[in-house]
Structure 1
Amino acid sequence: MTTFTGHDGTRLGYRVLGGGEPLLVLAGGAMRDSAYLGDLGGLSAHRALHVLDLRGTGRSEHPADPASYRVDRQVADVEAFRSHLGLDRADVLAHSAGCSLATLYALRHPKRTGRLVLVTPSLRIFGGTATEDDYREAAEARGLAEEEWYPAALAAVRSAFTGGAADPDVVAPLFHGDWNAGARAHEAGRAAQSHPEAAAAYHGGGFRPAAVRAGVAELPSPALLLAGEYDPDPRPGAVRATAALFRRARAVVQPAAGHYPWLDDPAAFTRTVAGFLAP
C-alpha cells in the first residue's frame, strides 16, 4: 500500500496491481473499502490498476471534516491522485457509487481525463432512481421464484421502498448473477468493509442532475457504461438511456451478470473493458 496527501492534508492509500499503463480505479459502496474489487476479474493483466481507498476507507485516513466525504468534495482527491502519479491525462474506471465521483471528476477536469469506464453505475447524479418494479423485473429475468431465499429478499426490498430498512445480507443475492459460493464469499466481507457515516454523506449534495446531464453532453472523453443483465439497480435500459446523454459513450450489457460483473464472468468483463481501453 502506497500513500499520498489529499487536497486537505488527509493521507490516502492506494494499491497497484499488475503492470503497464496506469488505470485509476474508484470503488463504490458508497464508501466501501476498495478490497472488494479484487483485481477486477483479471483486468490487472491488461493495465496497472491504481486502486484508491477513498478517504475514511481501507487504509486511508479519516478526514478531520466529515463533510468532506461528500462526493463533489472528493473530486479534489482524485485530481491529487492523478498529480501524484505524474499523469498528464488519466483513464478512470469506477464501480457503482464510485461512478458519481468519476463523472464529476471528468466534468471538472475534462483535459485531465482520458477514457472513462462506468461499471454498473449509480445514476443518482443524473437524477435516476430504481423502483421496486426494477427489482422484480431483474428477479423475473433470472427466474428466482423457486429460490428459497427469494421471498425474504423481495419482502426486504418492499420494506425499503415503503420507508423501512432492508437488511443488506437479505437482499445481497439479488445483486449477483449467480448466488454461488464465490458470490457468498464476496458478500461476507461487506460489513467489515462498510462505513455508514461516510456513505450517508457521500451523495448528500454538491451536484445538480440537470447540470450533470448537460455537462456529459459536452464531455470530450470517450465513455463506456457497462450494465449487468440481471442487475436490479441500475437496470440495463436505464444504463443505455444514460449513455445516450453523453457526447461520446456506448453502453454494453454483460449477459447473466449482476452488479459485480467481473465476478459473474471475468473473461467477458475483462474482454469488454480492455478492448475499450486499448489504444
Structure 2
Amino acid sequence: MAGTPTFTTFDGTELAYHLQGAGEPLICIPGGAMRASAYLGDLGGPADRRLLILLDLRGTGDSAVPADESTYRVDHQAGDVDALRVHLGAGARGPPRPLRRRQPRPALRGRAPERLRRTVRVTPTAWAVDLPVTAEDRLEGARLRAGGEPYDTAIAAYERILTDTAHGEEDWERAAPVFYGNWDETARAHWAANAWQQNEKAAEAYAGPGAFDPPATREALRRVTGEVLVLAAELDGNPRPALAARLATLFPRGSVDVQPRAGHFPWLDDAAWFAARVERFLAAGA
C-alpha cells in the first residue's frame, strides 16, 4: 500500500506498520496467529489519545514474505519487534509501550525485558510458559452461551472440532459464534476477513518444534520490571479467566482483569469498556 511506512528487520525482510491516531505511541503486536494487523481495527478507539503503531508480522498484511520461511517460528520473529523499536527510536519519555495480542513471546529471552514499562496482553495463550489450554477449557467458555441459537449449533460444531478428527471444514464456520461475545454484523465481518488476513503457512510454522523454552521464558518474565495487565474475557475459552490469572502471577508486577460478556476479541464486543480499561492501565504509569 502506497504510503505505508516500512523498515528492514534483522534478516533483510521489509516489514510494514500502520499508524492510527495521535499522542503517546503504543506498539500493537498482533496474534492471530499470523493474521494481518488489520484485524485489530482501532482497538476500541484509543487512537483519540494514543498513536497506535500496528505491526504487520512477516508474511502478513503489507509486510514481505521472508526469504527463509522457517523464520515464521515465533522465537525467530522476536528480532522483528526489536528492529521496530530501534526504527521508531525512544522518545523523551522512553520506549513505546507494547500492547500484545495472545502469545507471551520467548522473545523476552535475552532481550532486555526490564525495558518494558507497561504491557497489556489481550486474551493471551500461554504455550510459551507451559500453561496449555485444554479442550475442556475451550468448551467451558463456549457452553456459557448454551440455550439458544446460533450458539447451540456453534457449540456442537466446536465439540466436533475439539474431539473428532473427522470433523469437516464447515464446522469451523458453524462454530464461529463461540469466539465472539456478540454474533452481530461486526463479528461476522471480522470472522470472514480471516480468510485473506491470515497467512496459513506462517500460522502452521508459528509454534513449530523448538519455538518454546518454558523454563527460560518463565525466568525472563520474572525480570520484567514494568507492570503487566493480562486482560481476559468472561466468555472466552482461550484462555479462561482462571488461566489468565495464573499467567499474570508469572510477572513480578502482573495483574488480571476480566471483560464482562466478551469473547476472544473483546474490543469488538464492548469497545468503550475495552478502551477505557486499557487507557486506565496505561495512564496510571504516566
TM-score (structure 1 length as normaliser):
0.92
Q: How does 1:205-216 map to 2 (within 5 A)?
A: 205-216=210-221
* 1:139 equivalent in structure 2: 142
1:42-96: per-residue Cα shift (whole Å, max 9, x none)? 0111210000000000000000000111111111110110010012523100112
Residue type at the aligned position of 1:232: G
Provide the residue aligned with 2:247 in structure 1.
Answer: 242
In 1: Cα distance, 2:242 partner to 2:151 partner: 26
Percent of residue pairs bearing the same amino acid type: 44
Runs of at least 5 residues in structure 2 that lack an aligned partner in the other structure: none
Partner of 1:89: 95
2:49 corresponds to which residue?
Answer: 46
Q: Is the 8 A contact 2:108 2:217 kept in 1?
A: no
Paired residue type of 1:183: A
SS at match of 1:62: coil
Partner residue in 1 for 2:160: 158
Partners in 2 of 1:52 and 1:9 — Cα distance? Answer: 16
Written as runs of structure 1 = structure 2, the 5 A alignment for 1:252-271 is: 252-271=257-276
Q: Aligned partners of 1:125, 1:164: CA distance in 2, in Å?
A: 29
Aligned equivalent of 1:231: 236
TM-score by length of 2: 0.90
After TM superposition, give the deviation of residue 181 of structure 1 in Å: 1.5
Q: Match for residue 194 of structure 2?
A: 190
- Whole-Å separation in 2 of the counterparts to 1:125 and 1:260: 21
Please provide the CA RMSD for this pair.
1.8
Equivalent pairs, count: 275
Secondary structure of the residue aligned to 2:235 is coil
Structure 1 residue matching 2:261: 3-state secondary structure = coil
Q: Deviations over 1:129-187 (max 9, x none)?
A: 22232233213323x23214533542343333444556432222111011112111111
Q: How far apart are the structure 2 equivalents of 1:106 and 1:114?
A: 17
CA 1:215 to 1:168, structure 2 compared with 1: closer, same or farther past 3 Å? same
Letter in 1 for 2:228: A
CA distance in 2, matches of 1:156, 1:249: 32
Between the aligned partners of 1:12 and 1:106, the Cα distance in structure 2 is 22
Contact 1:132/1:158, CA 8 A, preserved across alignment = no
Residue 4 (structure 1) aligns with:
7
Task: Tell me if 1:168 matches 2:139.
Answer: no
1:115 counterpart residue number:
118
Name the aligned partner's letter for residue 32 of structure 1: R
Change (3 A) 1:197 1:51: same
Alignment CA distance shift 1:152-1:41 (3 Å): closer
Give the SS at the match of 2:117. strand
Equivalent residues of 1:70, 1:202 under 8 A apart: yes
Aligned-partner SS, 1:273 = helix
What secondary structure does 2:44 align onto? helix
| Contact kept? 2:108, 2:220, Cα under 8 Å | no
In 2, the alpha carbon distance for the partners of 1:19 and 1:105 equals 28
Amino acid at match of 1:5: T
Query: What are the superposed Cα offsets for residues 7-50 of structure 1, whole Å, 9 maximum, x if unpaired?
Result: 11100000010011111111111000110101101011121000
C-alpha offsets along residues 71-122 of structure 1, whole Å, 9 cap, x if unaligned?
11111110110010012523100112xx333x63486222432211100001
Q: Is the 8 A contact 2:119 2:226 kept in 1?
A: yes
Give the secondary-structure state (helix, strand or coil) at the position aligned to 2:104.
helix
Distance apart, 1:221 and its partner CA: 1.9
Q: Within 1, Cα distance between the matches of 2:174 and 2:131? A: 24
